[in-house]
Every structure is written in C-alpha cells, then in structure tokens.
Structure 1
Amino acid sequence: MLIRAGFTIAFQAVQPVPMLANLSVHASRNRDLRTAQRIMSTPDVPVYDYVDRFGNVCTRLTMPAGGITINCGFVIEDPFEPDRVEPNAGQSPIEELPDDVLVFLLASRYCETDRLSDTAWSLFGAVAPGWARVQAILDYAHNRIRFDYATAHPGKSAWDAHQQREGVCRDFAHLAITLCRCMNIPARYCTGYMGDMDLPAIVGDMDFSAWFEAYLDGEWYTFDARHNRPRKGRILMARGRDATDVALTTTFGLATLTRFEVYTDEDRLGLLT
C-alpha cells in the first residue's frame, strides 16, 4: 500500500529560538520512501540534520523572531500487515543481552522503575516469562488508563499515569515500558505515524502516535498498549528510552504552538503529496 503522510506545525516567538525536532521518518524506512522527504520552513531558514545515538534523524534549526511554520509531506510504501505476533518468544537472560540493549532496562525520565517495581512483581511475577508476560503487562496498562486528550501533559510520567488512570498514547507506552523493565524485559519508546486506515471508523483528529518495542529472544517486537491489538500501517520516526529522547520538538527559548496538523491516509491517486 502507498501511504501519504506529513505534517504542518507552526510556532510564534518574540525572538530567535533554537529548535530540535524528531520529525523525520526513521532511517530504517528509507528504502520504503517513494517520494523525497524534506522538512521545509516558512520563512526559509537553514536546516541541519544529524543522527543521534539511537539512530534517529534529528533536525536543528532556529526559528526567527515572529515565528515559523515547518512542514513535510511524503509517500511511503508499506506492506500494511499487522504487527508481528510470536507467542512462543521467550525472555532473554540479562547476562546474554547485547550491551546496547541494557540501557532499555534502566529507569529514565518518564519511566520510574523504582516506584513501580513492587507493583510489577506483585502483578506479573507469576506470569510465564516472555511473550505471555509482556501481553499481561499490555492488558494491564490498556485497562488501567482511560484515554483522554484533555489530560495530556508533557510532564506526566508512568507513575503519574498509573496513579491518575488517564492519559494519551505516550502515557500508555510509558507505563507498559516501565512495567516491562521492572520485570527485566528491555523496552523502548517509539513514535511515528499511525493512521486509522485499519479501523472500521475514524477515531478523532489525526495525531502522531506512541507505542513501544520489547526485546524477546534476541529480537525487538512491536506492542501498542493503547489499542492492545496488532495494528497496520505504522511509520516509525524515532526510538529512545522514553519521550525525552524522541520529543517531536524541543525549543530552547519561549515559543508558542499555534498550529498542529498531521495526516496519514492511503494514496489512492499515486504518489501525490
């Protein structure tokens, strides 16, 4: 399937403000792109990309006084198959984990393993290690949190979401990631495009989405605590320990978001952006 995706985001600022953005499609999907992908701005300013330690394409720019609008549009080919399910995947012993995977067992800004460790072991200690344990964590996070855009807050952590029992997709992901790490299952945060093309009906305004990956039997598998079922059409942008590493935009100064539009749909007409 050809998927047309992109965004338009605008800010206002009274003085020049440096910005860091994680808004490019992840390099692992480069071969699937069927049109060029380039972040552009109005007014036109110099834009510089680099690759961070997690393999994400990060964009640096400085918005001028008055503000800026940044946008990107592209077409990507996607197999449009559901997330892979491997019920027999086992839990890897910690001593056998690759060095670069160990970091995804540690606490991070939004994933406080120390505060949820006792809860995790009381809930999932008797569950068979591996896929069954991750699925039990997925079920718990899905049922524990009520989805509500009005409760979104950039400072909300996994502990906050667990106690308040409401949040958005990033909160579902943070809670599940934290509980996995508490149970010695490496887990990492993912962000990207996730449309509604595999759903029977449109579910509100389009937005970027958050999910997570868990490391089992030497492989990373995709899980989605908000929807709690395999989905189709994910377009990965970035991975990291939590939302800190893959924030859509980070401004180093005062700026006000004035426009936020995201689209993801099937490109039935062929390579039109």
Structure 2
Amino acid sequence: MRIRAGYDIAFKCPQDVPMVLMLTVHPSRQTDLVAGHAIRVSPNVRTRDYTDIFGNVCTRLVAPAGLIEIRTEFVIEDSGMPDAVAPQASQVPLDELPDAALMYLLGSRYCDTQKLADLAWSTFGHINGGWQRVQSICDYVHDRIQFGYHFARDDRTASEGHHERTGVCRDFAHLAIALCRCMNIPARYCTGYLGDIGVPIDPAPMDFSAWFEAYIGGQWYTFDARHNHPRIGRIVIARGRDAADVAISTMFGPTELARFKVLTEEVRAGEVFPLQPYIDARRAARSVPAAV
C-alpha cells in the first residue's frame, strides 16, 4: 500500500531565530519513499542537514523576522501490515544486551526511572517473558492514563504522568518506557506519522504521534501504550531516549506557532500526487461541526 503524508507548519518570528527541525523521515524508511518529501521553506532560506547521535536527520536554518512556512508532502510505500506481535520474544539478559542498547536502560529527562522502580518491580516483577512483561506494562499505562489534547504539558515526567493520570501520546510513551527500563528492558521513544488506517477516523485534527520500541528477543519491537493494539502505517521520523531528543522543532529565540497541520492517509487508486489543496480541504471539512 502507499501512504500520503506531510505537514504545513508556520511560525511568526519577531527577529532572526536559529532553528533545528526534526521533520525528515528516518533513514530506515527513506528507501520506501516514492515521491516528494523535500522540505520546502518560505521565504527561501539556506538549510543544512546533519545526523544526530541517534541517527536522526536534523535540519538547521535561521528564520528571518516575520512569517516562516515549512511544508512537505510525500508518498511512501508501506507493507500495509500491522505492528508485529511476538509473544515468544524473551527478555535478553543484561550481560547479553548489545552495547548500543544500554543507554536505553538509563533514566532520562522525562523518564525518571528512580521514582518508579519500586512500583515497577512490585507490579511487573512476577511476570515472566519479555513480550508478556512489556505488554503488561502497556496494559497498565493504557488503563492508568486518560488521553486528552487539553491535558498536554511539555514538562510532564513519567512519574508525574503516573500521578496525574492524564496526558497525551508522549505521556503514555514516557511512562511505559520508564517502567520497561526499571525492569531492565531497553526502551526508546519514537515519533512520527500514524494515520487512521484500518481504524475509525478520529475527528480531532491530525498530529504527529509518539510510541516506543522495546528490545526483546534480540530485536526492537514496536509498542503503543496509548492505542494498545497493533496499528498499520507507522512512519518513523526520529528515535531517542525520550521526547527531549526528538523535538520536531527547537528554537533559539522567540517564536509563535501560527499554523500546524499534519496529514497521513492511505493513497486511493486514481488519486494524483501532489494534492496540497486536498490537505486544506480535508482540514476545513474536519473543522465543520457535525449536523445534529
């Protein structure tokens, strides 16, 4: 299957502001790109890409004073298969973990493992098997936290999310990651596109999504504590220890978000690419209240 995805983001800047963007599809998926994907910036300013320590593609630029618009639209090939399920995947002993996985056992900015260790061991210590333990953590987090965009807070840690019992997708991911790390299971944060493919369409405006990967059975597996069931069509943008490592935009000066639109959906037979007007029309249609 093919998926169309992209974004239309704008910022207002009272002065020149250096920025780092993390909006490029992860290198692991770039061979699947069919069309498009180049980041378009208006006004036309110089951009430069680099690869960070986690293997993510970052874009540097200096936004001039005024309105800066950042857009892309692309088509990517996808297997159309839901996230893999591997109940046989066992927990890897600590001394057999790859060196590169060890940093995903440590506490980080939003995954404050030291405050959750006792809870983790008392709740999940009796569960054998890597997959079963991670899935039990997902079940716990899914039931513990109430999702709502109005609950969003950019400084909420995993332990605070556990205490407050509210949050958005990043909070589900942070708490699940922290609990996995407490149980000596490497876990890393993922951000990217996740459209309503194979599930009922969510009437809320589309956004980027957050989930996590756990290292069990000798490889990384995808888990999603918010939705808590396999989904189709994930497109990874970046991976890191937590959300602090994969911010889609980092500004080194004052800015105001002027526009934020994200699109992710299956390409239907006969449709023509690109369809930028289609993005705007779809967003406008979603903003109209349903008839009573």
- Give the TM bin, normalised by the shorter chain: over 0.9
**What corresponds to 1:63 in structure 2?**
63
Shift, 1:203, TM fit: 4.2
Aligned mates of 1:120, 1:113 — CA distance in 2? 9
Q: Which residue of 2 aligns with 1:146?
A: 146
**Partner residue in 2 for 1:175:** 175
The corresponding residue for 1:156 is 156
Alignment correspondent of 1:77: 77
Q: Deviations over 1:89-119 (max 9, x none)?
A: 0000111111111000000000000000011
Q: Tell me how far 1:159 sits from its aligned partner.
A: 1.1
1:1-273 maps to which residues of 2 (within 5 A)? 1-268=1-268, 269-270=270-271, 272-273=273-274
Deviation at residue 199 of structure 1 after TM alignment: 0.6
Which residue identity lines up with residue 208 of structure 2 in the other structure? F
In the TM superposition, what whole-angstrom CA distance separates every residue of 1:124-148 from its partner, at most 9, and x where no partner exists?
0111131100010000010000001
Deviation sequence 1:201-236 (CA, Å, 0-9, x none): 334211100000000021000000000000001011
Q: Percent identity of the aligned residues? A: 58
3-state SS of paired residue (2:101): helix
Say whether the 8 Å CA contact 1:19–1:62 is kept in structure 2.
yes
Could you report, residue by residue, the CA deviation over 1:180-216 in whole angstroms, capped at 9, with x for unpaired residues? Answer: 0000000000000000021133342111000000000
What is the CA–CA distance in structure 1 between the aligned matches of 2:272 and 2:47, rounded to whole Å? 25
The CA deviation string for residues 51-105 of structure 1, in whole angstroms up to 9 with x for no partner, is 1111111111111011311011100011111100000100001111111110000
Distance in structure 2 (CA, Å) of the matches to 1:103 and 1:134: 18
Question: Aligned partners of 2:40 and 2:75: how far apart in 1?
Answer: 16
Question: Gaps (5+ residues) in structure 2?
Answer: 275-292
State how far apart, in whole Å, the 1-side matches of 2:62 and 2:222 are. Answer: 34
Code of the aligned partner of 2:144: R
How far, CA to CA, are the matches of 2:156 and 2:234 in structure 1?
24
| Residue identity in the other structure for 1:107 | G
Name the TM-score, length of structure 1 as normaliser: 0.98
Once the 2 structures are TM-superposed, how far is the Cα of residue 31 of structure 1 from its aligned partner?
A: 1.1
Contact 2:192–2:238 (Cα < 8 Å) also in 1: yes
Q: Is the 8 A contact 2:198 2:232 kept in 1?
A: yes
Letter of the 2:212 partner, please give it.
F
SS in 1 for 2:5: strand
Partners in 1 of 2:159 and 2:20 — Cα distance? 27
Higher RCO (CA 8 Å, separation ≥ 6 residues): 1
The answer as to whether partners of 1:127 and 1:133 remain within 8 angstroms in 2 is yes
The answer on whether the counterparts of 2:187 and 2:213 sit within 8 Å (CA) in structure 1 is: yes
CA 1:28/1:270 → structure 2, altered by over 3 Å: closer, same or farther? farther
Q: Is the 8 A contact 1:34 1:271 kept in 2?
A: no
Q: Find runs of 4+ consecutive structure 1 residues off by over 3 angstroms.
A: none
Q: Does the residue aligned with 2:244 lie in a helix, a strand or coil?
A: coil
Structure 1 gap ranges (5+): none
Amino acid at match of 1:233: G
Identify which range, 180-189 or 150-159, moves more after superposition: 150-159
Superposed displacement of residue 13, structure 1: 1.0
Task: Kindly tell me the number of residue pairs found equivalent between the two proteins.
Answer: 273
Does the 8 A contact of 2:89 with 2:129 survive in 1? no
RMSD: 1.0
Output the amino acid matched with 1:217: G
SS in 2 for 1:170: helix
